[in-house]
Amino acid sequence: MSFFTPIGFEDYVKSHLKVNPLVDPADLRRRLRRSLADFRAGVKCQCGQPIWVVGSAEVGNGCFNCITGEAYSSADYELEEACSGAGKAAAKGRVRRHRRSR
């Protein structure tokens, strides 16, 4: 999933609303939280890939390729909570195996 650009929850909401001013922010947050919860619960796309949270919030659970139909991947956002190794896990200090060269 390294082609995603990690973005914070509220940052994504802000940028999404800038492009889609008619979207209800409360509704957007609700949809994002539901997709993120599904992602964390291990929900997979029908093809077996992990779901793409920000896309799934729009059109229902699916991975990036199935939602967009193609693997064009210039700068697509994903919540940092859903990007492996980033976000909450690091904040909680649960990241082990930090290789240090002595």
Q: Is 90 helix (H, G, I), strand (E, B) or coil?
A: helix
Which residue lies nearer to Zn ion by CB, 59 or 90? 59
Closest CA to 9 of 63, 86, 79: 79
**Count of residues that bind Zn ion according to CB under 5 A:** 5
Please, which of residues 43-72 interact with Zn ion by CB under 5 A? 45, 47, 49, 63, 66
The answer to whether residue 7 forms part of the interface with Zn ion (CB under 5 A) is no
Q: Could you tell me which of 92, 88, 73, 90 has the C-alpha nearest to residue 5?
A: 73
Rounded to a whole number of angstroms, the minimum distance from the CB of residue 37 to Zn ion is: 19
* CA separation for the pair 50, 55 (Å, rounded): 12
* Contact residues: Zn ion, CB under 5 A: 45, 47, 49, 63, 66
